[in-house]
Amino acid sequence: MRVGVLGTGGVGQTLAGKIASLGHEVMMGTRDTKAALARNEAGYGAMVLADWLAENPEVKLGPFADSAAHGEIVVNATAGAASLAALELAGAENLEGKILIDVSNPLDFSQGFPPSLFVSNTDSLGEQIQRAFPGAKVVKTLNTMNMELMVYPTSLAGGDHHVFVSGNDAGAKAEVTRILKEWFGWREVIDLGDITSSRGAEMSVPLWLRLVGSLGTFMINFKIVR
């Protein structure tokens, strides 16, 4: 399958690398390919992009629009505060009719750490993205854990923990559920409901961040017991 991964940070690298390792054709998206390749710093959990691409030569790099056009499925792994701008650059026409897997979080670091959420409670970033791009089938998922667990869930507790999906399109959620299980190895995927259920998934992140602080590790996740 052709997959566009919008985002060159640690999450974009992790998802693009894993998906490409499965034999899919991945194009990673960025604002400005030259500037991205010239960068010699890396964000949290990321490698310097040029070094990462040298180690992952099967992953192509292109502008957001080319990445979105390339993908039969598109992943939004951009900074939450910039996701709407990044998706504008990707272009509504390149997202039309496609599944848009949204792993972003609406984190506001302007007051330092831990961040607050710039949208919550009665709205969510997942909903903002769905409203801005009505032709895309937005499925919010994987935003409730660290990047490594997204694609290697079995590296924690044998995979006995949970991932959520939120979205308005039942077929898109079924396809994303298949991808989560068959590509990444998730055992159980919980459907939270329509895209408004992104609110809960996003609002769980402040709790997750506090748990990271209390327990001293990023290798934690939610397990729902019933």
Say if strands 137-141 and 99-102 run parallel, antiparallel, or are unpaired. Answer: parallel
Residues 61-90 that bind ligand NAP (CB under 6 A): 77-80, 82, 85-86
Q: Could you say which of 8, 141, 197, 221 contacts ligand NAP (CB under 6 A)?
A: 8
The least CB distance from residue 41 to ligand NAP, in Å, is 11
* Spatial contact of 45 and 14, defined as CB atoms under 8 Å apart: yes
Distance CA 90, CA 84 (A): 10
Residue 18 in 3-state DSSP?
helix
107 near ligand NAP, rule: CB under 6 A: yes
User: Which helix H or strand E contains 201, and what residues bound it?
Assistant: helix 198-215
- Helix ranges restricted to H, 33-137: 33-38, 49-55, 64-70, 83-90, 92-95, 125-132
Q: Count of alpha carbons within 13 Å of 80, Cβ hemisphere only?
A: 23
The least CB distance from residue 209 to ligand NAP, in Å, is 10
Residue number with CB closer to ligand NAP (163 or 172): 163
105 near ligand NAP, rule: CB under 6 A: yes
The least CB distance from residue 157 to ligand NAP, in Å, is 18
The least CB distance from residue 122 to ligand NAP, in Å, is 20
Residue number with CB closer to ligand NAP (143 or 197): 143
Distance CA 58, CA 52 (A): 11
Q: Mark 20-39 with x for binding to ligand NAP (rule: CB under 6 A) and - for no binding.
A: ----------xx----x---
Name the phi and psi angles at 70, rounded to 5: -65, -40
Q: Could you say which of 3, 4, 7, 126 contacts ligand NAP (CB under 6 A)?
A: 7
Distance CA 41, CA 22 (A): 28
Q: Could you say which of 67, 124, 128, 143 contacts ligand NAP (CB under 6 A)?
A: 143
The least CB distance from residue 208 to ligand NAP, in Å, is 9
Interface residues toward ligand NAP, by CB under 6 A: 7-12, 30-31, 36, 43-45, 77-80, 82, 85-86, 103-105, 107, 143, 146-147
